[in-house]
């Protein structure tokens, strides 16, 4: 059996080595790894990979068979974690670099430059990786880079023209300039080509560059090129011959490996007869960097840096705590963040959606909520971009939060969103969804909302009341099951008993037995022949709700009708205010009872009428059917039952109704 704890510890150690390599600080590495692992636990999963990775081109297999091909890649879980470490590292890097008094040496900035270049190209595809490495890290010409891409792609039909190479190079340079700001300077070459101003002695940093590229190569990817000798024109390991485009993902990752890994890249360049990478290395000149030589090396050696047992234990505990918090519901709205900037808000308690646009280059969509223990991450989507807007379709990703709660993202393919000073701005359209497929989250939310509105003196009693109500509902479920198995013909039998004893059910009450303040009889639609709920009076005073109903035979009739009620609408009657949280809680309690269903007025068999007391300290509740008969509480007392507005008191409404119904059933079965 696989030891999951050991596997997670191995993953934590691996991520720690990477974070320490980038920063050289242990405490910072612990924070970065904890955040990245937490995001990985909450990452949204593609619901349909075929719709996510639409074909971006067509190629022809041997024998003339035309097959589809992919233009972007699906990374493995470990490779996603690698990317998340890059993303989580960036804010700390930026904060340090914004302090002009910070002594940041060139080696550290070179490491960050290469890391950022690899990250922004990995979020796209092997074309962008080839472009970034061959044109922005090494100074190969566009024609040479085209030949390199053709060699790893092994498909002439997917070649890009010169204009596309220039356009995408400009985009990558813009993202690098945005990342490093005034530390980079752009210059023009002899033919007007824009490049970053380079160091005059870039070759002396070759060792650091190779070490960075080895560390940043996608995890768990082998070297697939021949170990020695020239590279053949056809590289079998990089050729896609399948008929299912989903099968190309691993080959696309292998292509990216071949360009990023320094030994593989050197072999590819040699196979094309190009100058060796050492002679083409072109490191940007970083302004405002401290004067240290390359012998200082990168910030940290990831091969030697290992987390201590104490650091591992802290990361485990933080991750377990966050996982447990995610399972505890919160009533707070959900904030949708893109790279730490709020872009939309989702309301809970109902199906909610929020559309927004994300510009190309954004890295992470997060859904967060306020929690009693602080800000809580609920869902993550790691952005990637496809450059085939004509052929790609929308993709959908989702994260299950438990209890029937789900967060989803629907993301369109890359396209032009708008123009900025005449220049096209590309990106994706996103729709974030929140939905619930189970009533329990809403019931719990109503309970907590009601509790927060109560005086503190009543709050300690909420837990005991909730357990008591749950016990009643459980007992009701057992009773329902036994009753269904033994008395399947209850309804018809009850009708027969009533007729034999002269207790005829009145379908249209006469005016002489109308209770004070009761609504008129239901009317019948000539088209549907179905009764419609008669409207209640616009106002209902407290005495009218409590008026006695002194007709003896009506009790039996009302009792039989009460047993048959299944769909109930909860509604405020009268001119006094009732807290909406009470109405919501009563509706959810009816739903959770499994005996009744809470519905809208037009679909209801009965109306649970709730009126406010004159002193504002209580509510009056009664259940009436479509003809206006009071079904509950029973005759012989006040025709509306008074309850307080505490959590304990409101919880008793449905519990009392349920207890009375069960008692009626036992009496009916005992006749």
Q: Provide the 10 A C-beta neighbour count for residue 60.
A: 12
What is the pLDDT averaged over residues 647-658? 79
* Helix H or strand E segment including 670: helix 647-670
| Per-residue pLDDT tens over the stretch 322-377 | 888 887 767 788 899 999 899 999 887 778 888 999 999 999 999 998 876 778 89
Q: What are the contacts of 513-518 at 24+ separation with CB within 8 A?
A: 513/551, 513/554, 514/628, 515/547, 515/549, 515/630, 515/639, 516/543, 516/544, 516/547, 517/541, 517/544, 517/545, 517/547, 518/624, 518/628, 518/629, 518/630
d(CA 591, CA 599): 9
SS3 content of the chain, % helix, strand, coil (to 5): 45, 20, 35
DSSP per position, 408-421: EEEEPPPEEEEEET
pTM above 0.75, yes or no: no
Q: Are 640 and 546 contacting, i.e. CB atoms less than 8 angstroms apart? A: yes
Instruction: Report pLDDT for 297.
Output: 56
**HSE value, Cβ hemisphere, 13 Å, CA-based, for 264:** 24
Residue 450 has pLDDT above 70, yes or no: no
> Are 490 and 482 a contacting pair, CB within 8 Å?
no
pLDDT at residue 39 in the model: 93
What's the mean per-residue pLDDT of the chain? 76
Q: What is the DSSP string of 371-401?
A: ETTEEEEEEEEE----S-TTT---EEEEEEE
Quote the percentage of the chain above a pLDDT of 90: 34
Dihedral over Cα of 306, 137, 260, 72: its sign: positive
Q: Residue 569 forms beta bridges with which residues? A: 607
Calculate mean pLDDT across residues 428-436.
89
Task: Yes or no: say if 424 and 414 are a contact pair by the CB < 8 Å rule.
Answer: no
- Residue 370 CA to residue 398 CA, distance in Å, equals 21
Q: Sorting pLDDT into bands at 50, 70 and 90, what band is 526?
A: very low
In angstroms, how far is CA 66 from the centroid of its own chain? 37
pLDDT in tens, 131-167: 999 999 999 999 999 999 999 988 888 888 999 999 9
Per-residue pLDDT at 90 exceeds 50: yes
Q: Which is it for strands 395-402 and 405-411: parallel, antiparallel or unpaired?
A: antiparallel
Three-class SS string for 283-327? CECCCCCECCCHHHCCCCCCCCCCCCHHHHHHHHHHHHHHHHHHC
For 618, the enclosing helix (H) or strand (E) is: strand 618-625
- Whether the bond between 633 and the residue before it is cis, its omega within 30 degrees of 0, is yes
pLDDT at 380: 92
Pairwise pLDDT comparison (5 vs 422), residue with the higher score? 5
Q: What is the pLDDT of residue 533?
A: 34
Q: Which two tokens stand for residue 354?
A: 């929020």
Specify whether the CB–CB gap between 199 and 285 falls below 8 A: yes
Mean per-residue pLDDT, 565-580: 84
Cα gap 179→174, rounded to integer Å: 9
pLDDT at site 240: 82
The full set of domain ranges for the chain reads 103-299, 326-437, 441-670
CB 84 within 8 A of CB 12: no
Looking at 6-15, 217-226, 440-449, 640-649, which range is the least confident one? 440-449
- Residue 605 binned pLDDT confidence (cut-offs 50, 70, 90): confident
Cα–Cα dist 151/172, whole Å: 22
Q: What is the pLDDT of residue 80?
A: 93
Length of the chain: 671
Tens digit of each residue's pLDDT (9 = 90 or more) over 24-69? 999 999 999 999 999 999 988 775 444 434 444 444 433 443 444 4
Per the CB < 8 A criterion, the answer to whether 338 and 364 are in contact is: yes
- What pLDDT is attached to residue 542? 37
Choice among 176-185, 292-301, 415-424 with the minimum mean pLDDT: 292-301
479-521 pLDDT, tens digit each? 444 444 443 344 344 434 433 433 333 333 333 323 333 333 3
Place of tokens 């019948």: 524
Compute, in degrees rounded to 10, the torsion defined by CA atoms 303, 305, 308, 312: -70
């Amino acid at each position: 059996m696989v030891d999951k704890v050991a596997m997670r510890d191995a993953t934590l150690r691996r991520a720690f080595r990477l974070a320490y390599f980038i920063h050289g600080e242990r405490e910072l590495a612990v924070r970065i790894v904890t955040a990245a692992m937490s995001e990985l636990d909450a990452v949204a999963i593609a619901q349909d990979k075929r719709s996510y990775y639409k074909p971006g081109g067509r190629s022809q297999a041997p024998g003339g068979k035309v097959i589809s091909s992919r233009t972007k890649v699906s990374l493995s879980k470990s490779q996603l974690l690698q990317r998340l470490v890059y993303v989580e590292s960036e804010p700390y890097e930026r904060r340090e670099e914004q302090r002009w008094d910070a002594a940041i040496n060139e080696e550290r900035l070179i490491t960050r430059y290469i890391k950022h270049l690899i990250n922004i190209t990995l979020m796209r595809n092997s074309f962008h990786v080839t472009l970034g490495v061959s044109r922005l890290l090494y100074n190969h010409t566009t024609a040479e880079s085209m030949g390199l891409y053709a060699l790893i792609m092994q498909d002439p039909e997917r070649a890009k023209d010169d204009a596309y190479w220039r356009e995408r190079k400009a985009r990558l340079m813009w993202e690098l300039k945005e990342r490093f700001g005034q530390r980079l300077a752009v210059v023009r070459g002899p033919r007007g080509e824009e490049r970053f101003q380079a160091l005059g002695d870039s070759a002396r940093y070759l060792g650091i560059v190779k070490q960075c590229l080895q560390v940043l190569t996608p995890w768990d990817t082998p070297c697939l090129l021949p170990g020695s000798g020239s590279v053949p024109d056809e590289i079998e390991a990089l050729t896609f011959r399948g008929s299912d485009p989903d099968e190309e993902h691993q080959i696309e990752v292998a292509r990216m490996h071949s360009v990023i890994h320094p030994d593989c890249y050197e072999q590819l360049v040699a196979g094309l007869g190009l100058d060796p990478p050492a002679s083409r290395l072109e490191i940007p000149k970083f302004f405002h960097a401290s004067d240290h030589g390359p012998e200082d090396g990168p910030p940290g050696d990831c091969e030697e840096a290992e987390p201590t047992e104490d650091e591992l234990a802290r990361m485990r505990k933080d991750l377990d705590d966050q996982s447990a918090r995610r399972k505890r519901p919160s009533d707070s709205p959900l904030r949708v963040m893109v790279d730490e900037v709020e872009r939309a808000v989702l309301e809970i308690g109902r199906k909610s959606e929020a559309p927004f646009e994300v510009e190309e280059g954004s890295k992470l969509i997060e859904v967060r909520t306020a929690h009693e223990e602080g800000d809580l991450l609920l869902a993550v989507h790691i952005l990637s971009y496809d450059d085939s807007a004509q052929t790609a379709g929308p993709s959908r990703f989702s994260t299950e939060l438990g209890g029937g709660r789900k967060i989803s993202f629907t993301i369109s393919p890359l396209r032009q969103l708008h123009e900025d000073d005449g220049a096209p701005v590309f990106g994706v359209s996103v729709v974030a969804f929140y939905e619930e497929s189970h009533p329990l989250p809403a019931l719990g939310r109503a309970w907590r909302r009601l509790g927060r509105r109560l005086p503190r003196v009543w709050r300690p009693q909420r837990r005991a009341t909730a357990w008591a109500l749950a016990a009643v509902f459980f007992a009701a479920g057992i009773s329902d099951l036994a009753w269904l198995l033994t008395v399947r013909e209850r309804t018809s039998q009850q009708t027969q008993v009533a007729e034999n004893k002269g207790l005829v059910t009145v379908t249209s009450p006469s005016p002489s037995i109308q209770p004070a303040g009761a609504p008129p009889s239901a009317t019948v639609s000539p088209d549907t022949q179905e009764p419609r709920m008669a409207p209640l009076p616009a106002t209902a005073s407290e005495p009218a709700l409590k008026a006695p109903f002194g007709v003896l035979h009506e009790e039996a009739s009302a009792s039989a009708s009460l047993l048959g009620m299944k769909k109930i609408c909860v509604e405020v009657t009268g001119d006094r205010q009732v807290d909406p949280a009470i109405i919501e809680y009563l509706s959810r309690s009816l739903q959770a009872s499994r005996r009744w269903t809470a519905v809208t007025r037009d679909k209801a068999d009965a109306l649970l009428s709730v009126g406010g007391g004159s002193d504002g300290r209580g509510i009056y509740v009664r259940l009436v059917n479509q003809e206006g008969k009071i079904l509950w509480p029973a005759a012989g007392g006040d025709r509306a039952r008074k309850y307080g507005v505490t959590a304990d008191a409101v919880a008793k409404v449905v519990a009392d109704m349920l207890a009375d119904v069960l008692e009626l059933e036992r009496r009916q079965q005992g006749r």
